[in-house]
Structure 1
Amino acid sequence: MTIETTQRRIARQGGAVRAAGLVLGGSLLIAAAAQVSVGWPVPMSLQTLAVLVVGMSLGARLGALAVVAYLAEGAMGLPVFANGMSAPALAGPTAGFLFGFVGMAYLAGLAADMGLARRLVPAALCAAAISLLLYGPGLAWPALVMGKTLPELWGGWMAPFLLGDAIKAVLAAMIVCGGSALLGRLRG
């Protein structure tokens, strides 16, 4: 079974309860990955890897809902964001990235739903392009709210993360494509 049919398969095999479980599981995976982080004020973490994997695995709608659940968990005070942060992070220097994760998961899921995540190279290219798009909301927040300049944004919010984001995009594609291939072999 291919990735792009995930939402249809979930609807047939358990409906809303199963979908809710997958959304919760996706949010918990992102929360766990966020705790593997270094740096401040913009930590380098495994959140983007987890968001890409969740989006490509669950599809556009459920992937985005998993990130919304993750944000809601943080808003309720749970320490799910990088460095054990909770609600204050939703107004801090990384808020643009946190809210941008919803779009990131949706686009990764959309790529999977369209069949672009079936093979490693197209999946990795899609994941890398989507990772670059995350810098839009991620950089807009500190520019608009904190008054950061372009050199500050480049030096503190973007340049240090580009190589890591490229590596995480390839890893996400490998995880999803490998997992899909393994499930296909196990099923038949």
Structure 2
Amino acid sequence: MHLTSARFATLLAFARRGLIAAWKPVLFAALLWMATAAGAVPIPGTPVPITLQTFVVMLAGLMLPWRQAGAAVATYLAAGALGLPVFAGGASTMALVGPSAGFLIGFLPGVILTALLRGQARTDSPISAALTAGRYLLAAVIGCVVVVYVFGIGAQSLLTGVDPLAVALASTGFIAGDAVKACVAAAFAAGLMRR
């Protein structure tokens, strides 16, 4: 098959669009790994440590289209499933069947829901910017806190045999930190969207 200059230009444009679309998910997947590599803070009573992962997932959901946000988290989870030490404490595959599995897996529907709920950024006036930040905050809380906790608490309860209410109570140590992360992520993402 002969490659004409028009076909070559089309192929080149297609490859360029693919690279442009792929770099952001890869960047956020790397940021997720760096958020765990930076360290984890253990919480007494729960095997799941505090990391900055949730913050990065929130940023991905607030700054990327839902497909790219989902691709970033899927890439991160796939790297861990393939054995790369990308999860908290340098864990990999076994973290996806351990006590934090539900939280990790919950990142995927959480980030997609956050991206779908956030709506369009409007920063043409201070009131519009404040409303955008508020909408972003609500999207981050629903997607990256509520959804992730539902998956995390449910899976941890199933895997450990501990009552879901007891797991939920043990997980309350994360709520204040996640609320702060959601506020910072919403303000940061809304600020970046300003023209």
Tell me the TM-score normalised to structure 2 length: 0.80
CA shift at 1:155, angstroms? 3.0
Q: One-letter code of the match for 1:92?
A: G
Note the residue ranges of structure 2 that are not aligned, 5 or more in a row. Answer: 1-12, 123-128
**Which residue is 2:68 aligned to?**
62
Note the residue ranges of structure 1 that are not aligned, 5 or more in a row. Answer: 1-10
Q: Aligned Cα RMSD in Å?
A: 2.1
Alignment partners' CA distance in 1, 2:20 and 2:165: 46
**Which residue is 1:98 aligned to?**
104
Alignment partners' CA distance in 2, 1:42 and 1:67: 18
Matched ranges for 1:27-176 at <5 A: 27-35=29-37, 36-39=39-42, 41-112=47-118, 114-115=119-120, 119-130=132-143, 131-156=145-170, 158-176=171-189
Moved more, 118-127 or 15-24: 118-127
Q: Provide Cα deviations, 1:128-156, integer angstroms capped at 9, x if missing partner.
A: 22212211111111112221113420232
Point out the structure with max Rg over C-alpha: 2
CA shift at 1:116, angstroms? 6.6
Residues 154, 164 of structure 2: 8 Å contact kept: no
Do structure 1's residue 23 and structure 2's residue 28 form an aligned pair?
A: no
Alignment partners' CA distance in 1, 2:24 and 2:188: 17
**In the comparison of the two structures, how many residue pairs are matched?**
170
**Which residue is 1:180 aligned to?**
193
TM superposition outliers: structure 1 runs of 4+ over 4 Å:
none
Residues 128, 170 of structure 1: 8 Å contact kept: no
Alignment partners' CA distance in 1, 2:99 and 2:64: 28
CA shift at 1:48, angstroms? 0.6
Tell me the TM-score normalised to structure 1 length: 0.83
CA shift at 1:23, angstroms? 1.3
Q: Provide Cα deviations, 1:77-128, integer angstroms capped at 9, x if missing partner.
A: 111111221111011100001000001110111123x327862122112212
